[in-house]
Amino acid sequence: MNELTILKPDDWHLHFRDGDLLQETVPATARCFARAIVMPNLVPPVTNAEMALNYKKRILAASPTPAAETEPFSPLMTIYLTNTTSVEDIKSAKQAGITAAKFYPAGATTNSDAAVSQIDSLYPIFEAMAKHSLPLLIHGEVTDNDIDIFDREAIFIDRNLTKLARNFPELKIVLEHITTREAVDFINESSSNIAATITPQHLLFNRNDLLVGGIKPHNFCLPILKRDIHQQALRKAVISGSKKFFLGTDSAPHAKHRKESACGCAGCYSAWSAIELYAEIFEELSILSKLEAFASTHGADFYQLPRNTETITLIKKDWSVPEEIALPDGNPIVPFYAGQSLSWQLK
């Protein structure tokens, strides 16, 4: 097969950042995705509908002009749950067309200091979200100091998520960027209201790719890459073709000097090669025929949004991901998979 045409995909989890950086990140994603769910972990975080709508305007201002007779890129906005989120915030978010609300455990990842330390304290908010049909997006890791970083996702599921799902059967929940066998099992065993996104890095790599032969800061993201058995479980999840798993790149840009540092930031900037990376993996797994469902229909169906009608075409052609990209402020950034070769290219 030398050409693959699929319905235009959507990215159900990414980070655009703000300010000048939008000139870089938004066109990169609009290149091949029709829509993207935009994470709210700015500084300060996007905590209500008004902030989210203003952020949306800034994203739209940075979006490329669509080619004739094609749909413009559409950002789907989220709000960030904090200790001061109110039931009123949820109601107005829904009314304003906000797509979802994001739960970060305090201290779990980049810019999560404003987040909630006790998930139970959000139960009235989850109740309102279920009532108003606002999906809950979860960064599923505990942050207790005594819990090993490689166990944080599995323990979050065990301690928090199982109970949450049981208490709010009507609430739609997406467990974001899953990394473990435990997460795959949890999703498979739960109701159709619960789904998960999977990133390219967690399908392509395991922790050896982070740590063997020297630390590879550009493969450092959270949740951290796990051991091979977990990578294989994620691969099995996409091979299964289950509707409960869909594309979410977690593209998360950090300038080169912030990644290549004594205390390097977590996040992989994968937007410029996103759909091509997934195509590479799906071809390796001999499931290219399942790429369209994973990338373009499962997510839309879960969020009860219309499927895209435009298409994209990938052609079989070797190319290399650039070693560096210049950010609008002049700083370089190293994209995910830099310098490595991919065999599919967007036409």
Question: How do 35-38 and 11-14 pair as beta strands?
Answer: parallel
Our CB check for ligand NCD shows the closer of 110 and 143 to be 110
Are 309 and 35 contacting, i.e. CB atoms less than 8 angstroms apart? no
Per rule CB under 5 A, count of chain residues that contact Zn ion: 1
Please spell the DSSP secondary structure of 138-161, one letter per residue: E------TTS-GGGHHHHHIIIII
Window 258-297: contact mask with ligand NCD (x via CB under 6 A): --------xx------------------------------
In angstroms, give the least distance from the CB of 40 to ligand NCD.
10
Residues 51-110 that bind Zn ion (CB under 5 A): none
Per rule CB under 6 A, count of chain residues that contact ligand NCD: 11
Residue 228 CA, chain-centre distance (Å), reads 21
Considering only 77, 198, 210, 221, the residue that binds ligand NCD (CB under 6 A) is 221
Are 113 and 106 contacting, i.e. CB atoms less than 8 angstroms apart? yes
Rounded distance, CA 219 to CA 123, Å?
35
Query: What is the DSSP secondary structure assignment for residue 73, as one 8-state letter?
Result: P
Q: Is 210 in the site for ligand NCD (CB under 6 A)?
A: no
Going by C-alpha positions, the residue among 72, 101, 77, 62 that lies closest to residue 15 is 77
Our CB check for Zn ion shows the closer of 98 and 108 to be 108
* C-alpha neighbours within 13 Å on the C-beta side of residue 197: 30
Our CB check for ligand NCD shows the closer of 16 and 186 to be 16
Residues 23-42 that bind ligand NCD (CB under 6 A): 41
Q: Is 153 in the site for Zn ion (CB under 5 A)?
A: no
Q: Is 280 in the site for Zn ion (CB under 5 A)?
A: no
Considering only 46, 225, 252, 271, the residue that binds ligand NCD (CB under 6 A) is 252
Are 173 and 193 contacting, i.e. CB atoms less than 8 angstroms apart? yes
Q: Is 141 in the site for Zn ion (CB under 5 A)?
A: no
Considering only 48, 110, 143, 160, the residue that binds ligand NCD (CB under 6 A) is 110
b/e per residue, 93-132, with b = 16+ CB within 10 A? bbeeebbbbbbbbeebbbbbebbbeebeebeebbbbbbee
In angstroms, give the least distance from the CB of 220 to ligand NCD.
7
Rounded distance, CA 290 to CA 277, Å?
14
Residues 162-201 that bind ligand NCD (CB under 6 A): none
Catalytic residue among 250, 301, 318, 329: 250
Question: How do 194-198 and 245-247 pair as beta strands?
Answer: parallel
Our CB check for ligand NCD shows the closer of 9 and 40 to be 40
Active site residue 250: yes
Residues 41-60 that bind ligand NCD (CB under 6 A): 41
For tokens 């975080």, the residue is 45
Q: Is 250 in the site for Zn ion (CB under 5 A)?
A: yes
Residues forming beta bridges with residue 98, ordered by sequence position: none
Q: Is 139 in the site for ligand NCD (CB under 6 A)?
A: yes
Instruction: By CB under 5 A, name the binding residues for Zn ion.
Output: 250
Instruction: By CB under 6 A, name the binding residues for ligand NCD.
Output: 15, 41, 109-110, 139, 221-222, 250, 252, 266-267
Which residues are part of the catalytic machinery? 250
